[in-house]
Amino acid sequence: MPPANEPLFTSEGRSSIHSEERAAQEDDALLGNQRRRSNTTRGVFWREIGLFTWAILATVAVIVLAILLKCQPSQNKPEKHTGKRNLVFMVSDGMGPASLSLTRSFRQYQNGLPIDDVLVLDEHFIGSSRTRSSNSLVTDSAAGATAFSCGKKSYNGAISILPDHTPCGTVLEAAKRAGYMTGLVVTTSLTDATPACFASHANIRSEEDLIAQQEVGHYPLGRVVDLMFGGGRCHFLPNTTSGSCRADNQDITKLAQDEYGWNYIDNRQDFDDIKAGGAAVKLPLLGLFADYNIPFEIDRRNMDDVYPSLEEMAQVALKALEAATQDSDKGFFLMIEGSRIDHAGHGNDPAAQVHEVMAYDRAFGSVVEFLEKSHVDGVLVATSDHETGGLATARQLDAHYPEYLWYPGVLANVSSSAEYLARRLNSEIDSNLLEGDKLKNWINEEFVKNGLGILDASDDELQLIIDQPKVSAYYFADMVSRRAQIGWSTHGHSAVDVNIYGTAGSSNLRGNHENTNVGEFLREYLDVDVDAVTKELIKGSKSFNIADTEEAGWTGRIPSEEDLQSVLRYHEELYGKAP
């Protein structure tokens, strides 16, 4: 086959035109000019030469066209990226397609927007992802994030560990090895499954104390993260401190600073100083802004002086990483998670959910804008690990023919999450000494009317809350869902495909993909060697040991089937058992 750059069209194309002219002349002669009858034999000869040449040239032209077309970027041909570049990967934990419909309609209702008004996410929709794990059709966030970080399927509960319990190198670790700067920004605990999967390895996700030490660098690779913002401070503080949830007395904030060079901030004021540019950002930087989760956005907006928003954290992280890579030929890799869309799903709380998705959408939009303005090439890819709640934007409430509607106005009247109201109820119910109708009235006024915006609570509904205040979060959320005619099929996760979003440069993820393809995209975009990191981890495993996990090895004990089952009930402690 001739090389595509040979000038086939220029020289031979001309002779093709000439031979066609000649053939036409011959045709003329044959059909209309008796005078030239004596030249017929010669004419046939030329005509055959002409046809033959034309056939050869047509074949060559088809081949050349085929080669040229193959060189064009298309869906079949993977996009290649070269030069300095940044990659932002966003995860909307537990956000399925119905969450988008719910939030889009809610936002239109609340702000009086036209029916064609869409979310920023909607404008960047490119495909969908299949989410099953190695051992179940319904994944959890640990197996889901392992598919992104390692590009491999594993079992529910696995933190970048394969089914044979060996660690797999992650895209963040490989990015660090390749010279990129790296960051993690989340609204839940930094030790929770999604962030954990990028910078630690544990046989079961509940080993959050172990994950905290690994994330600051106490594991075979040393420190691989340059910036971490989120909640989960309790796993970094020794059990002798108030606000700790560690089982031991190790101070991971101290370990981070003394052994691994981290700068540490733990409050909104210090964050604001950095945000305003008043304090120079020194990396590595660990920012822990809540003991456990940062509050749901619906509640956080009233505590803005205590907790930064996802968008603010994302922007500060982007600027810090951009500045830190200014003189480097490598950019950065940043993972940003809207972590608590999942929690709103577990709690079946539609009002908390729409505010979480809107906050995530704002963060997404701000990343798009950042990348557009940046002088460095960059791509944003966003997806979910799975859907949570089996959310449906319609609900049949009784045996009658279903109504074709749901009521966003009910959600617009809710001012607090069910989680927040339940926590407040439980902290106040014992000390307020009310009984009977007075207690019922107090709950109705303070929580149902003021908190949920529900003015028509029935006696039975209020009695359920009084009887089981510990699980009142479920009752509060259910009262809202029924009135809004929003359906839920589970307090856990579901197996529905989730959406993939991306900016220019992410076309390799168009269409329907396995979640591991998303992981492959990340490593391919950055052009980093994840397998080399896996080898380094396995080699390092032999020499690395930490005192109190010596028996189990540095990735923690290998869980029993029972342990893995209990991992699936992971959020129970947040909401109590479902009624």
Ligand X SMILES: *[C@@H]1O[C@H](CO)[C@@H](O)[C@H](O)[C@H]1NC(C)=O
Task: List contacts with ligand X (CB under 6 A).
Answer: 239, 248-249, 407, 409-410, 413, 453
Residue 311 binding target from Zn ion, ligand X, none, CB below 5 to 8 Å by type: none
Minimum CB–partner distance for residue 288 and ligand X (Å) = 20
Q: How many CB atoms lie within 10 A of CB 359?
A: 22
Would strands 377-383 and 332-338 be described as parallel, antiparallel, or unpaired? unpaired
Q: Which residue is nearest to ligand X (CB)?
A: 409
Start-end of H helices in 261-309: 268-275, 297-300
Ramachandran assignment for 144, one of left (phi > 0), alpha (psi -120 to 50 degrees), beta (any other) = alpha
Q: Closer to Zn ion by CB, 251 or 342: give it.
A: 342
Tell me which residue of 143, 210, 198 sits closest to 170, measured CA to CA: 198
Residue 453 binding target from Zn ion, ligand X, none, CB below 5 to 8 Å by type: ligand X
Question: 438 burial class (0-12, 13-18, 19+ CB within 10 angstroms)?
Answer: exposed
DSSP characters over 333-401: EEEEEETTHHHHHHTT-HHHHHHHHHHHHHHHHHHHHHHHH-SSEEEEEEE-S-EES--BS----SSSP
The span from the CA of 344 to the CA of 164, in Å, is 33
377 is in an annotated binding site: no
Is the peptide bond prior to 284 cis by the omega test (within 30 degrees of 0)? Answer: yes
342 binds Zn ion (CB under 5 A): yes
Q: Closer to ligand X by CB, 411 or 530: give it.
A: 411
192 binds Zn ion (CB under 5 A): no
Q: Closer to ligand X by CB, 179 or 409: give it.
A: 409
Tell me which residue of 507, 501, 506, 514 sits closest to 87, measured CA to CA: 506
Q: Which stretch binds Zn ion (CB under 5 A): 65-73, 268-276, 340-348, 389-397?
A: 340-348
194 is in an annotated binding site: yes
Q: Closer to Zn ion by CB, 26 or 342: give it.
A: 342
Residue 248 binding target from ligand X, Zn ion, none, CB below 5 to 8 Å by type: ligand X
Residue 549 binding target from Zn ion, ligand X, none, CB below 5 to 8 Å by type: none
Residue 258 binding target from Zn ion, ligand X, none, CB below 5 to 8 Å by type: none
Instruction: For residue 141, indicate whether it is catalytic.
Output: yes
Q: Closer to ligand X by CB, 212 or 225: give it.
A: 212
Question: 398 burial class (0-12, 13-18, 19+ CB within 10 angstroms)?
Answer: exposed
Residue 477 binding target from Zn ion, ligand X, none, CB below 5 to 8 Å by type: none
**If you compute the radius of gyration of the chain from its CA atoms, what whole number of angstroms results?**
31
Contact at 8 Å (CB) between 454 and 483?
yes
Q: Which stretch binds Zn ion (CB under 5 A): 214-222, 335-343, 393-401, 521-529?
A: 335-343
Minimum CB–partner distance for residue 270 and ligand X (Å) = 28
Residue 342 binding target from ligand X, Zn ion, none, CB below 5 to 8 Å by type: Zn ion
Q: Closer to ligand X by CB, 94 or 453: give it.
A: 453
Contact residues for 523 (Cβ-Cβ < 8 A; gap 6+): 151, 171, 174, 530
The span from the CA of 118 to the CA of 364, in Å, is 14
Window 271 to 310, contacts with Zn ion (CB under 5 A): none
Minimum CB–partner distance for residue 233 and ligand X (Å) = 17
124 is in an annotated binding site: no
192 is in an annotated binding site: yes
Minimum CB–partner distance for residue 572 and Zn ion (Å) = 11
Residue 413 binding target from Zn ion, ligand X, none, CB below 5 to 8 Å by type: ligand X
493 is in an annotated binding site: yes
**Number of amino acids touching Zn ion (CB under 5 A):** 1
Phi, psi of 92 (to 5 degrees): -105, 95
Tell me which residue of 336, 373, 330 sits closest to 184, measured CA to CA: 336
Minimum CB–partner distance for residue 298 and Zn ion (Å) = 18
End-to-end CA distance of the chain, in Å?
71
Minimum CB–partner distance for residue 557 and ligand X (Å) = 17
140 is in an annotated binding site: no
Contact at 8 Å (CB) between 299 and 349?
no
Q: Closer to ligand X by CB, 160 or 444: give it.
A: 444
The three-class DSSP label of residue 170 is coil
Tell me which residue of 121, 119, 123 sits closest to 104, measured CA to CA: 119
Residue 239 binding target from ligand X, Zn ion, none, CB below 5 to 8 Å by type: ligand X
The span from the CA of 454 to the CA of 480, in Å, is 8
Cα 87 to Cα 318, 330, 367, 505: the distances in Å are 10, 11, 11, 10
Catalytic position from the list 19, 141, 154, 494: 141
SS (H, E, C) 16-54: HHHHHHHHHHHHHHHHHCHHHHHHHHHHHHHHHHHHHHH
The span from the CA of 290 to the CA of 187, in Å, is 9
Minimum CB–partner distance for residue 456 and ligand X (Å) = 9
Minimum CB–partner distance for residue 154 and Zn ion (Å) = 16
The span from the CA of 143 to the CA of 165, in Å, is 13
Phi, psi of 406 (to 5 degrees): -145, 160
Minimum CB–partner distance for residue 239 and ligand X (Å) = 4
329 is in an annotated binding site: no
Q: Closer to ligand X by CB, 246 or 386: give it.
A: 246
Q: Closer to Zn ion by CB, 505 or 576: give it.
A: 576
Instruction: Summarize as ranges the residues that interact with Zn ion (CB under 5 A).
Output: 342
| Residues recognised as catalytic | 141
The binding site for Zn(2+) consists of 93, 342, 346, 385-386, 493
The binding site consists of 93, 192, 194, 337, 342, 346, 385-386, 493
The binding site for Mg(2+) consists of 93, 192, 194, 337
